[in-house]
Structure 1
């Protein structure tokens, strides 16, 4: 298994992988609305290759929490973490997460991370919790217990999650 920067993988291979992992209707999900109009962060997005076959990928996105009091809090949205269905018990997702978290730590960018995912998995292995996300709102449906965050700079205040675009960051 080899991890490479996601930018080295053709976009059609990435899209095919995401369709295989999440279905072709994935673009209607809340996560897509949260990060709408942004590009994934190339320094923290990776692909897992097994004999040159794309078997998994992770993307990270710049988002922000627009607080009800008027200011904003930057966050890094982790996900999707996608693995081919027939390889989902091979530890590929955990490897992708661990490598992304190590890169984020090395770059000093692990202070405010968030994702939408299984709280037992992401909590147990990576320290994500819903402890500070209870007052967050999102532009679409989400099970509140699946809205997770980690890092010392995660704000617990009420606000709306949305994209962090350079001009409005």
Structure 2
């Protein structure tokens, strides 16, 4: 039976190994990694999928912000990466993890969500679109149509960057 558990319940090394298998060792050079660089995933919004004690999928959510060109900033939560064991992809594991993370974000009143991903998939299943992101900039290349947001995301011009969250 597949269970969704807090990501803290699994080994950080196992998560990193899964991310390497799912995305390749060059994953750290991607624009999404640059946006969240220097932050820690939000524990309450990051989950693992396990089956018979084996890690088969993860989703992590990150504190980021839109640094507005006009001044100030707007907090956001960056969803992803969603990683699934390559031999288990296309089995609904990633969709279940994403739905779970979004449900928890909605229930806890998290900041608006954003991600870089396939608009047909994330729009159809989760309500993400690019209506607010047209004036956003990112620290690297991105296909504009893949820069998506959900909820009351700011439509201001600005740069997406890490948001440091103080921990007690």
Contact 2:64 2:161 in 1 (8 A): yes
Deviations 1:53-104 (A, max 9, x none): 1110000000000000011000000000111111111100110011111111
Between the two proteins, the alignment pairs up a number of residues equal to 165
In structure 1, the partner of 2:89 is 88
What is the rounded CA distance, in whole Å, between the counterparts of 1:89 and 1:143 in structure 2? Answer: 23
What is the rounded CA distance, in whole Å, between the counterparts of 1:105 and 1:156 in structure 2? Answer: 20
Query: Shift of residue 21 of structure 1?
Result: 0.6
Q: Secondary structure at the match of 2:40?
A: coil
Q: Secondary structure at the match of 1:17?
A: helix
Q: Where do 5+ consecutive residues of structure 1 fail to align? A: none
Q: TM-score, normalised by structure 2?
A: 0.96
Q: Secondary structure at the match of 1:165?
A: coil
What is the rounded CA distance, in whole Å, between the counterparts of 1:6 and 1:166 in structure 2? Answer: 18
RMSD between superposed Cα atoms in Å: 0.9
Query: Shift of residue 12 of structure 1?
Result: 0.9
In structure 1, the partner of 2:100 is 99
Structure 1 residues 9-158: aligned runs within 5 Å? 9-109=10-110, 111-152=111-152, 154-158=153-157
Runs of 4+ in 1 over 3 A off after TM superposition: none
What is the rounded CA distance, in whole Å, between the counterparts of 2:126 and 2:57 in structure 1? Answer: 18
Q: Where do 5+ consecutive residues of structure 2 fail to align? A: none
Query: Shift of residue 156 of structure 1?
Result: 0.6
Q: TM-score, normalised by structure 1?
A: 0.95
Query: Shift of residue 166 of structure 1?
Result: 2.9
Query: Shift of residue 8 of structure 1?
Result: 1.3
Query: Shift of residue 105 of structure 1?
Result: 1.2
Deviations 1:27-69 (A, max 9, x none): 0001111001100000000000011111100000000000000
